């Protein structure tokens, strides 16, 4: 039988069919505690099966998959963890992403299962899947353990991005940065490290600040960063000549964004600035790929979406800002700055 040489290479389709299996394997390994069990050194299969209360056959399959994914490796002493897994997938690591991974596995996975309905209706899936409207942050803060793990996951992502964000533009003329919804303070910390003349304040909800205080206390710039309790949509904003919004705007619809941007514009002095940390869609919205899937994620789980630089510029201009500039970075987030004329 002759081969049809006109058919396109199916590898892209086959890879996408298999793609969710790779991520689920990582999620399951984190959830089962495999990386935590190996954090102290290599262990053999039988020992791990007893410790993790898992079937020997099922665990061996998952461990070998993690070897193929370069999260584990085999040694004469059994299975051992790789540096990347030790850094990002162990609960003992200050750089861990486990909170975000567990959210992706336990919550986001179910929302994505209803992506077709999200596309048809243009709304998140919280009511369909969980029977309530949200906001999603209520889930993150449902108890102390969940709050801490999710915030540490966000902290891990912030440690990758914030040094690039604060170096994207010359901030040397500013004196006080207000990081709205600043979480663990990674952006404020990076800004104070990069710009020695800068002081900062993390403005966030009451339940967030204890962990902020704990983590800031380990930094060399803790004495230059204040913590202020508040809700940036409703409470008076602190005084500062530059405000920051890190992964905030993409969570909300346009009306709420304009409300927040207008509040910041009103509070800033003339020539004050707003620094935004978000990943920028290409102007034709054809990429980058990571942001395309994140944009679908925002559809399933928030009111918001990802945006192009021109879309950010339109919203910022509507709120009164001028001189909007964007900067691509090699990190998971890009930077946008706007000036109050």
The set of catalytic residues is 250
CA–chain centroid gap for 73, Å, is 27
End-to-end CA distance of the chain: 72
Residue 335: strand, helix, or coil: strand
Tokens of 259: 């409300």
Q: DSSP class of residue 235?
A: S
Residue in the structure block whose two tokens are 């029977």: 131
Phi/psi of residue 99, nearest 5 degrees: -60, -40
Please report which helix (H) or strand (E) contains residue 136, including its range: none
Residue 236: strand, helix, or coil: coil
Q: DSSP class of residue 339?
A: E
Residue 77 burial (10 A CB sphere; 0-12, 13-18, 19+):
exposed
- Report d(CA 149, CA 151) in Å as an integer: 5
User: How many CB atoms within 10 Å of residue 22?
Assistant: 13
């Amino acid at each position: 039988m002759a081969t049809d040489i006109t058919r396109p290479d199916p590898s892209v389709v086959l890879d996408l069919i298999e793609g969710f299996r790779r991520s689920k394997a990582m999620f399951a390994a984190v959830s089962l505690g495999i990386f935590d069990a190996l954090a102290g050194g290599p262990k053999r299969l039988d020992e791990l099966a007893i410790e993790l209360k898992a079937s020997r056959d099922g665990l061996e399959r998952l461990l070998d998959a993690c070897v193929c994914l370069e999260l584990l490796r085999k040694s004469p002493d059994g299975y051992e963890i790789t540096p990347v897994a030790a850094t990002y997938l162990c609960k003992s690591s200050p750089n861990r992403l486990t909170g975000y991974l567990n959210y992706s596995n336990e919550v986001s996975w179910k929302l994505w299962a209803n992506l077709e309905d999200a596309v048809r209706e243009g709304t998140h899936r919280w009511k369909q899947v969980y029977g309530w409207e949200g906001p999603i942050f209520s889930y993150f803060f449902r108890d102390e353990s969940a709050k801490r793990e999710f915030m540490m996951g966000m902290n891990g992502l912030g440690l990758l991005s914030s040094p690039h964000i604060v170096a994207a533009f010359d901030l040397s003329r500013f004196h006080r940065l207000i990081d709205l919804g600043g979480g663990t303070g990674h952006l404020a910390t990076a800004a104070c490290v990069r710009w020695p003349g800068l002081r900062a304040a993390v403005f966030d909800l009451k339940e967030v600040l204890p962990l902020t205080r704990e983590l800031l206390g380990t930094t060399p710039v803790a004495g230059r960063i204040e913590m202020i309790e508040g809700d940036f949509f409703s409470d008076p904003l602190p005084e500062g000549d530059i405000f920051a919004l890190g992964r905030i705007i993409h969570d909300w619809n346009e009306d709420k964004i304009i409300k927040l941007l207008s509040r910041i514009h009103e509070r800033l002095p003339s020539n004050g600035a707003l620094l935004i940390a978000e990943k920028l869609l290409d102007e034709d919205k054809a990429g980058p790929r990571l942001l395309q899937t994140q944009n679908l994620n925002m559809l399933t789980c928030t009111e918001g979406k990802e945006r192009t630089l021109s879309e950010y510029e339109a919203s910022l201009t509507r709120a009164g800002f001028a001189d909007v500039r964007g900067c691509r970075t090699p990190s998971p987030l890009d930077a946008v700055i706007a000036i109050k004329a």
